[in-house]
Chains A and B, each alone.
Chain A
Amino acid sequence: MRDLFRFLYRIRSTLMFLGWLILSFILLYNGNEHHRAHAISSSNAVVGTIYGWRKDITDYANLKEVNKALADENADWRNRHISTYTPVEGLFARIQDTIHRQEYRVITAKVVNSTWHKPKNQLTLDKGTRAGVHGDMGVIGPDGIVGVVRDASPNFAAVISVLSPEIKTSVQMRRTGHFGLLFWDTNDPLTSSVIDIAKHARVAVGDTVETRGGDGIFPAGIPVGVVESVEDAPGSNYHDITVRLSEDMTRSGFVYVVDDLHRAERDTLQQANER
Chain B
Amino acid sequence: MALQELNFSFKPEKNFTSFAPEWFHSGVVGSGDMEVLMEHKKQDGKVTVKVVTPVTGFDQVWEKVLAKFVAETKIGNLHMEINDNNATPFIVHMRLKQALFEAKGDVES
Interaction A to B: no
Chain A residues at the B interface, C-beta cutoff of 8 Å: none
Chain B residues at the A interface, C-beta cutoff of 8 Å: none
